[in-house]
Structure 1
Amino acid sequence: MNSKLQSLLKVSTEIDTTVFQRTTSCLVIAPHPDDESLGCGGLIARLCDLQIAVHVIFTTDGSMSHPHSRNTSTAARCKMREQEAISALRILGVEEKNITFFRGKDSALPARGETGFPGFVAQMIGIIDGINPELVLVPYEFDPHRDHRASWQITIAALEHYPGAEIWQYLIWLYTLGKEGDVEPISNIPGGIQYLPMGNQLGKKRTAISQHKSQLIPDVFDDPDGFILVNEVLQNFYGDKEYYIKQVKS
């Protein structure tokens, strides 16, 4: 872990959750199936326990975790990852009817200025129009993975006409792949990194993560070079705190 990030986590303070008192709907943006459970699974479970409707959008199809699979097609891998996400979210309390898959190309989600970006923004606006979320959870703006950055950009563009929504950024690859330039912007954000205690939601979160078997068990997709969530990575998400950055409204 980057030393700057370690320092910021050590001085993090508990996040103010009074927004929950005026929240009836929350929108979660996940670049890939499993990001929802890893980055904000505990918060999703807590919101559901509070009877707050949670809606989740997956922006990519997750197809590139095992591109050289010898026993499944791209379509089959995408389908399995979607089913894993549905199972994980069911454990956290999210109804399947509140889950949307945009199925953008994994590792090629268009960023601002790239072909296809306006189309994803329009899709997201269509959903926001229907649910009017008071709280939006989105990946950290400078997450090292391009799909995470693009997901943030699409979300912010879609929310331009919804200034009332509170935005919390969650961390994924910043823990293990973040460089100084990725972490430094946090120092200029009031409040910096803040944490949410997991409490009783930790068990649900860990069970939800376990549903993403294709990302945990090496031979599910039979790709020797495929991606697997190793223990070193998982430990960043198994603790008794989830970390967030409250986005400052411009």
Structure 2
Amino acid sequence: MTQSLIKNKVSQFYKGILKHNCREYSETDLKKSALIFSPHFDDETLGCGGLIIKKKQVEADVKLVFMTDGSKSHNHLMSGQKLQEIRRQESFTVAELLGLIQDDITLLDFPETQLNENYDSAVQEVTKIINKYQPEEIFIPHFREPLLWSADHLTTTKIVKAALKLYQKDAIVYEYPVWFWFHWPWVSLPIKTKQNRKTILKNTLIYGFGLRVLGNCNCSLYIGDILTKKRAALEQYKSQMTRLINNPKWATLQDISNGEFLECFFQENEIFRQYSKLK
């Protein structure tokens, strides 16, 4: 049996586990107000872009908070200030395609990769935002996101949870995975760089071949009918999806694991870990 066939069979087995473990995110859920916290410009679309589209289709109130400024993704090739301007504008374009308007977006502009250094300030800002909008649902990165490229993800989750402790009302929390998908069997082991291969192996071993995260994900939203819209929205993050300058060192999402990582976000279901704030 080839490695590719083994990978496909195991991933299908995992999808079966997910289907068994997850309740369906319902029409009633779609109508609830939501506040979505995104560590970086694009995480919101990758992790719950389909959910945003579907919520706006039923005219739900959805607000989006970007935690960091987008200044570091390619700062070895372009100035941080220019990157910040580009990625901010991209987020407005993407938000419109998802069904949002600019007034639905809050930019906290903490320096990318340095969110933890601004933890206390971020908790204060997030507490104000939660109190202002008083959402029925709150979306944050999954608490078991691997650390590679995602320290801001885990810090975002910790910040929002700290703010929720100060919030006097209940809310349903949904955690969405992003870098969780960067391990076998969702991506292949034989990839181009030794460093990425080592990271995939590490993630695979630490997260029990994904079973620990799969066991924690208990809610699923069908997005098969709006995948084209989600893909079109993500494409507008041109700094992440294309090379803005003609240099092979400008990495794109498509470059990660030969495109296998990116395709994880275009499965027919978005998955979440759901629980009450009071839990």
The match for 2:273 is 245
Look up the equivalent residue of 1:27 and give its one-letter code: L
RMSD across aligned positions (CA): 2.5
The match for 1:124 is 126
1:99 positional shift: 0.3
Question: 1:54 is matched with which residue: 62, 86, 96?
Answer: 62
Look up the equivalent residue of 1:141 and give its one-letter code: F
How far does the alpha carbon of each residue in 1:104-131 deviate from its partner, in whole angstroms, 9 at most, with x for none?
2212211xxxx42111011011111111
Distance in 2, matches of 1:39 and 1:89, equals 14
**Is the partner of 1:153 in helix, strand or coil?**
helix
Contact map agreement 1:107 1:147 (CA 8 A) in 2: yes
Distance in 1, matches of 2:121 and 2:130, equals 14
After TM superposition, list the pairs within 5 Å mapping 1:51-200 onto structure 2: 51-69=59-77, 72-110=78-116, 115-144=117-146, 145-160=150-165, 161-177=167-183, 178-182=203-207, 183=210, 185-186=212-213, 189=216, 192-200=217-225
Contact map agreement 2:224 2:267 (CA 8 A) in 1: no
1:29 positional shift: 0.7
Summarize the Cα distance change of 1:221–1:75 in structure 2 as closer, same or farther, 3 Å threshold. farther
With normalisation by structure 1, the TM-score equals 0.86
Summarize the Cα distance change of 1:199–1:6 in structure 2 as closer, same or farther, 3 Å threshold. closer
1:82 positional shift: 1.0
Contact map agreement 1:198 1:242 (CA 8 A) in 2: yes
- Relative contact order: is structure 1 or structure 2 higher (C-alpha 8 Å, sep ≥ 6)? 1
Look up the equivalent residue of 1:136 and give its one-letter code: I
1:45 positional shift: 0.6
Provide runs of 4+ in structure 1 moved above 6 Å: 3-6
User: Unaligned regions of 5+ residues in structure 1, if any?
Assistant: none
Q: What is the number of equivalent residue pairs in this alignment? A: 240
The match for 1:226 is 250
**Is the partner of 2:67 in helix, strand or coil?**
strand
With normalisation by structure 2, the TM-score equals 0.77
Question: 2:237 is matched with which residue: 209, 212, 220?
Answer: 212
Contact map agreement 1:30 1:139 (CA 8 A) in 2: yes
1:23 positional shift: 5.1
The match for 1:11 is 17
How far does the alpha carbon of each residue in 1:55-114 deviate from its partner, in whole angstroms, 9 at most, with x for none?
011111122210112xx421111111011111111111111101011112212211xxxx
- Per residue, is there more helix in 1 or in 2? 2
Distance in 2, matches of 1:4 and 1:175, equals 14
Summarize the Cα distance change of 1:187–1:90 in structure 2 as closer, same or farther, 3 Å threshold. closer
Structure 1 or 2, whichever has the larger Rg, is 2
